[in-house]
């Protein structure tokens, strides 16, 4: 399955976005994914694609196409983001 197809599945299943709206150039905000929803999506991407987002999630992904490209970068281990220690939510 392609990255796009898997991402589409996540957005249909967990965000109840109609599949026909999930074109590559669809903006995340128009799909009802706000800043917190985006953070949640990053968690799901880590789980579904078995990848690790280094440091803070990127802030420059605005479309489905952007996210697909980012995931492919992670999979290929080609992420441009520098690794940073992950903060834990408990002591």
Partner 1 sequence: MSGRRVAVTGLGVVTPLGNCISDVFDALEAGRSAVRRLPPALARQLRAPIAATVQFDGAAHFPGAHLRQLDRVSQMALVAAAQAVTDAGIDFASERRERCGVFVGSSLGGVESTDEGYRVLYAPEQGRVKPYTVITAMTSAPAAWIGIEYSLTGPNLTFSTACSSSAVALGEAARRIGGGEADVMLAGGTEAPLSAGVLAAWDAMRTLATEDPIDASASCRPFASTRSGLVLAEGAAFVVLEDWQHALRRGAPIHAELAGYGLTSDVAHITRPTVEGQAAAMRAALDSAQLAPEDVDYINAHGTATLQNDAVETAAIKQVLGARAYAIPVSSTKSMHGHLLGAAGALEFAIAVVALERGLVPPTMHLNSPDPACDLDYVAEGARRGARLRAVMSNSFAFGGTNAALIARSADR
- For tokens 């939510």, what's the residue? 89
Nearer to partner 1, 23 or 34 (CB): 34
Window of 1-9, 28-36, 58-66, 76-84 that interacts with partner 1 by CB under 8 A: 28-36
Compute the least distance from the CB of residue 90 to partner 1, in Å: 6
Residues numbered 29 to 88 that lie near partner 1 (CB under 8 A) are 31-34, 36-37, 39-40, 43
Tokens of 14: 């967990």
Of the residues 2, 16, 50, 59, which one makes contact with partner 1 according to CB under 8 A: 16
DSSP secondary structure, 5-30, as one string: HHHHHHHHHHH---GGG--TT-BTGG
End-to-end CA distance of the chain: give it in Å, rounded: 39
Please provide the size of the chain in residues.
91
In the complex, the residues that contact partner 1 under the rule CB under 8 A are 14-17, 31-34, 36-37, 39-40, 43, 89-90
């Amino acid at each position: 399955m392609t990255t796009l197809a898997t991402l589409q599945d996540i957005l249909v299943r967990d965000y109840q976005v109609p599949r026909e709206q999930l074109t590559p150039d669809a903006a995340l905000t128009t799909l009802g994914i706000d800043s917190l929803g985006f953070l949640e999506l990053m968690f799901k991407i880590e789980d579904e694609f078995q990848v690790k987002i280094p440091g803070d999630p990127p802030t420059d992904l605005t479309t489905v196409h952007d996210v697909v490209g980012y995931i492919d970068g992670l999979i290929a281990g080609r992420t441009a983001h520098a690794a940073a220690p992950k903060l834990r939510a408990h002591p």
